Amino acid sequence: MFTPEAMREADQKAAEMGYPSLLLMEWAGMKAARVYKELFGQRPAVVLAGKGNNGGDGLVLARHLLLEGVRVRVYAAPDQAGDALQAKNALLAHGAELYPLEEAAFGEGEVVVDALFGTGLKGPLTGFYAGLVERVNASGLPILALDLPSGLPYSPHVRATATVAFAAFKTPHLLMREACGRLFLAEIGLPKALLEREDLPEVATPEALRPLLPRRPLTAHKGSVGRVGVLGGYRGDGLRYAGAPVLAALGAYRMGAGLVHLAVPEGTPLEPLEAVFHPLPAPALPPMRVEALAVGMGGGPWGVLWAMRALEAGLPTVLDADALHLEVVAAYRRAGAKAVLTPHAGEAGRLLGRSPEEVAKDPLEAARTLARETGLTVVLKGNPTVVAEGERLSLNPTGNPALATGGTGDVLSGAIATLLAAGLPPFEAARLGVYLHGLAGDLLAEEKGVGLLAKEVAEALPRAREALLSGTRGAPWERV
């Protein structure tokens, strides 16, 4: 995933290599016109073109739509130069009429193409352009944004029905996804070498994750496919925090664990039936034959103790919720443990000494800092969830707000622990676990909308796994 600056550098490098930039613009506009046709057919288009190259893309799209017999009205900023001017001349040669942007008006049944600003935007829109963007949003018409909804990453910005990203996703496509609507990724002929950048954050794809899925040989048995120990829960005044470890156990089983051991306070319901129970008066590490642990779900004031006991096992461990404290993280770091931290913004803020709002504002930076400071793998939960380890960053594209309900994080911890137990390295277990958990939420939300139960998310994990394995469910964007 590129920052807008990194994308501009790639454009420049292509030009330095001798690659004609006009070709990129032609492909961009042509592919965007293809998406327009797919989504809106022959509906008349109103194209708003800025003076930069984003506007140029819009002018190319206008020409292709005209050639397809679509009625097009173009409002363009003055003073185009370079490729954008060539695009304008090509459009004029087709007999198109261009009107000044100041006169932009929209009619019923039309579709607005937003080609005002892309990666060249410097600072928030103000004055005329801010007003224009507000008018576009208020028009009630469908909006197709080229490359980026204009105004992003600031406000005001266009709220698009669909966005065609050119060459690669840029940060706002994932971090401000709500403004983008349906996402399309258009290949525009940029040399591949310029797009393969290990130093930039990745967006996890089904193609990259599929090979990581643990396969089961015919001879598999419950002791060979990964066993998980869950340590958590708390018993204080009355019985509290009893459900969280149970949900983690369900997450583990539904991700394919062979056996789940539950080390929980005495009095915790004996669920699920399939688990091996170790009822304890206080946090302790009972003897368990497992390959990974999930710790801290619903531990309350016992969370730190559970985590310290778990460390004695020397196993790959997921640390969640009440285990996420500085002393725990420091101890795991000192021990050189393989651990995956799964904080939400509040818990990450606690570890970083920041407010949850600060963390949520720049989750990429927060996840990277936490991974660097702890030396551990970090899953910063949210939308999008970010996985960080060392210098590596991965953004997860699955998941939706129906997952915003109690216990779904516990399910995720159990799921990641299972993948660790199956032998995946922490970064891979985290990326794959988060992707499948989000996909389970997506499949359920399509069926039921909001109002999910966390245990249903666990139950949908096998379907998500199957969808990834069989390829019936691709990435949540379309390639054109």
Ligand X SMILES: NC(=O)C1=CN([C@@H]2O[C@H](COP(=O)(O)OP(=O)(O)OC[C@H]3O[C@@H](n4cnc5c(N)ncnc54)[C@H](OP(=O)(O)O)[C@@H]3O)[C@@H](O)[C@H]2O)[C@@H](O)CC1
- Close Cβ partners of 347 (under 8 Å, ≥ 6 residues apart): 321, 324
Q: Applying CB under 6 A, does 410 fall inside the site for ligand ADP? A: yes
Q: Is 450 in the site for ligand ADP (CB under 6 A)?
A: no
State the binding partner of 385 from K ion, ligand X, ligand ADP, none, CB within 5 to 8 A by kind. Answer: ligand ADP
User: Pattern 240-269, binding to ligand X, x per CB under 6 A?
Assistant: ------------------------------
Per-residue binder mask for ligand X (CB under 6 A), 112-151, x = binder? -----xxxxxxx-x---x----------------xx----
Q: Which stretch binds ligand X (CB under 6 A): 3-11, 105-113, 342-350, 446-454?
A: 3-11
The reply to whether 323 sits near ligand X by the rule CB under 6 A is no
- Dihedral pair phi/psi, residue 230, rounded to 5°: -110, 125
Residue 412's binding partner, choosing from ligand X, ligand ADP, K ion, none, with beta-carbon cut-off 5 to 8 A by kind?
A: ligand ADP
Residue 404 interface partner, choices ligand X, ligand ADP, K ion, none, CB cut-off 5-8 Å depending on type: ligand ADP
121 binds, among ligand ADP, K ion, ligand X, none (CB under 5 to 8 A by kind): ligand X
Binding site annotation covers 89? no
- How far is 462 from 213, CA to CA, in rounded Å? 12
Binding partner at 406 among ligand X, K ion, ligand ADP, none, C-beta below 5 to 8 Å by kind: ligand ADP
Q: How far apart are CA 402 and CA 416, in angstroms?
A: 20
CA distances, 421 to each of 209, 267, 380, 392 (Å): 17, 27, 21, 22
Q: Contacts with ligand ADP in 222-281 (CB under 6 A)?
A: none
Element (H, E) at 288: none
Between residue 186 and residue 245, which ones bind K ion under the rule CB under 5 A?
Answer: none
- Residues of this chain, 357-386, that bind ligand ADP according to CB under 6 A: 381-383, 385
User: What is the smallest separation between the CB atom of 392 and K ion, expressed in angstroms?
Assistant: 30
Please write down the long-range contacts of 322-328, taking CB distance under 8 Å and 24 or more positions apart: 322/232, 322/234, 322/241, 322/296, 322/297, 322/298, 323/232, 323/295, 323/296, 323/299, 324/296, 324/350, 324/351, 325/350, 325/351, 326/351, 328/303, 328/304
The answer on whether 381 is annotated among ligand-binding residues is: yes
Q: Is 139 annotated as a binding residue?
A: no
Q: What is the DSSP string of 392-453?
A: EEEE-----GGG-STTHHHHHHHHHHHHHHTT--HHHHHHHHHHHHHHHHHHHHHHH-S---
Taking alpha carbons only, the member of 106, 109, 57, 62 closest to residue 84 is 57
Query: Is 303 one of the binding residues for ligand ADP (CB under 6 A)?
Result: no
User: Residue 78: is the preceding peptide bond cis (ω within 30°)?
Assistant: no
Q: Report if residue 310 touches ligand X, rule: CB under 6 A.
A: no
| Residue 344 binds ligand ADP, judged by CB under 6 A | yes
**Closest of 329, 357, 356, 358 to residue 341, by C-alpha:** 329
412 touching ligand ADP, by CB under 6 A: yes
Which of ligand ADP, ligand X, K ion, none is residue 80 near (CB under 5 to 8 Å by kind)?
Answer: none
The entry of ligand ADP, ligand X, K ion, none that residue 165 binds, CB within 5 to 8 Å by partner kind = none
Residue 50's CB is within 10 A of a number of other CB atoms, namely 25
Tell whether 476 is in a known binding site: no
Please pick, from the candidates 283, 399, 426, 433, the single residue that binds ligand ADP as defined by CB under 6 A.
399
Considering only CA atoms, which of 192, 306, 190, 193 is closest in space to residue 245? 306
449 appears as a binding residue in the annotation: no
HSE-up of 74 (CA within 13 Å, CB side)?
29
Beta-ladder partners of 258 = none
Query: Binds 114, which of ligand ADP, K ion, ligand X, none (CB < 5 to 8 A, cut-off by type)?
Result: K ion
Reduce the secondary structure of 19-57 to three states and give it as a string.
Answer: CCHHHHHHHHHHHHHHHHHHHHCCCCEEEEECCCHHHHH
Closest approach of ligand X to the CB of residue 137, in Å:
17
Among 1, 40, 52, 410, binds ligand X (CB under 6 A): 52
CB closer to ligand ADP out of 266 and 362: 362
Taking alpha carbons only, the member of 266, 350, 338 closest to residue 295 is 338
- Residues comprising the binding site for K(+)? 54, 114, 150
- Residues comprising the binding site? 53-57, 114, 118-124, 129, 147, 150, 244, 296, 344, 381-385, 409-410
Judged by the rule CB under 5 A, the positions of this chain that interact with K ion are: 114, 145-146, 150
- Residues comprising the binding site for AMP? 381-385, 409
